[in-house]
Amino acid sequence: MHIAACVWQEKGSATVAAAAAAMGAGGGGGAVGKWRVAVAALLAAAGGALNCVVSFLVFSFLDVLDMVLCVVYKLVDYAVEAEWKACYCSAAAREGSTAGAIFVPPAAARGPKVVRLSPSSAKMQLEDVSDTLYVRPSVLSDATKKSGPAAPTLTVSPAIVELIRGKIDRAPRPPRHSPCWSDCDCKVCHSWSAASRSSHLYVHVQAPTTPSGVETEDVVFIHGFISSSVFWTETVFPAFSEAARGKYRMFAVDLLGFGRSPKPADSLYTLREHVEMIERSVLQRYRLRKFHVVAHSLGSVLALALAVKYPAAVKSLTLLAPPYFPVPEEEAGAATQYVMRRVAPRRVWPAIAFGASMACWYEHVSRTICLTICRHHRTWDRLFRLFTRNRMRTFLIEAFMCHTHNAAWHTLHNIICGSASKMDSYLDVVDGQLACEVAVFHGRDDELLPVECALAVGARVPRARVTVYDHKDHITIIVGQEKLFAAELEAIWRRSAAAAE
C-alpha cells in the first residue's frame, strides 16, 4: 500500500501520554505539566460521559417519537391517498414490507433477500435487502441486551404469498409515477415521470472540445449519499485543464432516487437496481467500452460493484472516502448491524454523526425531516441564496434536498449497511483481477467515515495509492481544493494511459 501525504496524528490519549512524558522530562516544570495533562484528561472524560448521557436521553426520546409518528403517518396516508402504507417498524413489514413482496430467510453469509414482483412485468426477482431496514434495536434494548451479535430471523406471511399469487394472475400494473403527498412534485424532482424519460437516470455529459476523429477516453462520476451530479459538475468539472476537457468525455449521474433522476415509489433501491440503472443510462446508452470511474462515499460501493462486473473495462478506479468497515470475526453473524452502528453511532456529537443516526435509525423521524426539507426545497433554496449570497453553499443545499424519503431510506440501508458482507469480496476481485490503477483519497477530519476506512481499503488492495488530506473532511476533500483534486485525477488518467501502451 502506498500512502501519500499522510502524517499520522495520534489519538487524544496517546497525545496526552506523550505530552506527559515530555513535561516530565522537563524537570521543574514536570509537576505543573502533569497537572495540566491530568485536568485535560479529566475534562475529556467528563465530556465523553456527558455526551453518552445526553445521547441516551435524546435517542430514547426519538425511539418513542418514531412510534408515535408511525401511527400519525398511517392515518395521514390513508386520509390523503386512501391506502394503508406498510412500514418497516410494523409487524407486517417484518413479514413482507411492500406490496407484492415476501422476505426469504437469510442464507449463510449472504444476507436476507426479498422476492418481489417486477413493476413492469410478472417476472419474479430476488433482491438483496439489509436486515437493518426492519431490525433496529432501541437504545434501551441495546443497553440491556446480552453480549454477542445475533443474526435477525425472518418469517414468511402466508397472506403475502397469496397476495403475490394474485398479482401474478392479474395483468401487470404500470409503475407509479405520481409522487407521494409528502414528496416534492416540482419540475426538478418530477420531470422524470414522462414515459419517454423514466427508464434512464439523469446524466450530465461534458463532451470533449476537440474536433471529431480525435481519440477520447470516458470517465464516469458517481456521487455519494443524498447528493447529485452537481457535486462534480460545480466543483472539479470547471477545474479541469483545457487538455483534459479536450480529451475526456465525462459522465456525472444522478443516482436512482436523487437529483433529477427517477424516484419510483415502489423501488427498494437495492445494489442491483442502482447498478443496472447506471449500466442502462451510461454504459449501454453511450456505448462505453472502457472507462475510468471516480466515486465519492456511498458511490464507492457502486463503483466497486461496477468494477467487479466489468473488470476488463475499468481503466482506473478512484474512490473518495469509501465506506469500508472490516467486520470483526465475532460480528460476522450480524455484519450489517455492525456497519450501521459504525456509520450511525447514536451520538449527539459530532453533529454529522447525529444527522447520520437520525437518518439511519428512525424511519418516521427521517420521513418528517424529508417532509420539512425536501418537499420545500425551493423555499429553502431561495432563503439560502438570499442570506448567504454564496453559490457554493447553494449548490450543495440543492443537491442535499432533491430526493425522497423512500429513496434515501432504502439506499442508505441497502447500499451502505447491506454491502457489509460484499465489500471484502469486491476488494479481493479488485486486487486480483483488475490491472488498473486504484487510488483512494480521504480527509483526516472526516467525522462521518473515519480515515481508517481508506487505510483498510489500502490494506486489502496493497497496490492502491492512498492519499490522506490533512484538515479536510467528508465534503472539503473536494470543495475548496477543486483544482488540486482535478490535477490529481488528470495525473491518474495519464498514468493509466501510459501503463496501457
Q: How far is CA 280 from CA 200, 328, 342, 356, 372, in A?
A: 7, 36, 33, 30, 33
Q: What residue type is assigned to position 150 of the chain? A: A
Tell me the angle at which helices 423-433 and 452-460 cross, rounded to the nearest 10 degrees. 50
Would you call 274 a catalytic residue per the annotation? no
Would you call 413 a catalytic residue per the annotation? no
C-alpha cell at 402: 432533491
C-alpha cell at 186: 416540482
Specify burial of residue 21 (Cβ count, 10 A radius: 0-12, 13-18, 19+).
Answer: middle
Residue 328: CB atoms within 10 A of its CB come to: 10
Would you call 376 a catalytic residue per the annotation? no
Specify burial of residue 389 (Cβ count, 10 A radius: 0-12, 13-18, 19+).
Answer: exposed
Say if CB 318 and CB 492 are below 8 A apart. yes
Cβ contacts of residue 468 below 8 Å, gap of 6+?
Answer: 3, 4, 5, 6, 441, 442, 443, 444, 451, 454
Calculate Rg over the CA atoms of the chain.
24
Q: Cα–Cα distance between 149 and 72 in angstroms, integer?
A: 33
- Starting at the edge strand found earlier in the chain, the sheet holding 124-128 runs 101-107, 111-117, 124-128
C-alpha cell at 203: 446524466
DSSP class of 284: I
Would you call 200 a catalytic residue per the annotation? no
Alpha helices in 223-376 (DSSP H): 230-233, 236-239, 242-247, 271-278, 299-309, 335-343, 351-361, 363-373
Selecting among 227, 405, 474, 496, the annotated active-site residue is 474
- CA angle 175-180-184, nearest 5°? 115
Specify burial of residue 302 (Cβ count, 10 A radius: 0-12, 13-18, 19+).
Answer: buried
Instruction: Give Dmax over CA atoms of the chain in angstroms.
Output: 88
Q: Residue 9 is inside which H or E element, if any? A: none
Q: Which among 472, 485, 456 has a CA at the least distance from the CA of 1?
A: 456
Q: How far is CA 190 from CA 32, 95, 263, 380, 429, in A?
A: 65, 31, 8, 18, 38
Selecting among 228, 297, 300, 316, the annotated active-site residue is 297
What residues does 488 pair with on adjacent strands? none
Selecting among 223, 296, 405, 442, the annotated active-site residue is 223
Selecting among 131, 254, 446, 473, the annotated active-site residue is 446
Phi, psi of 264 (to 5 degrees): -60, 135
- Kindly list the catalytic residues: 223, 297, 446, 474
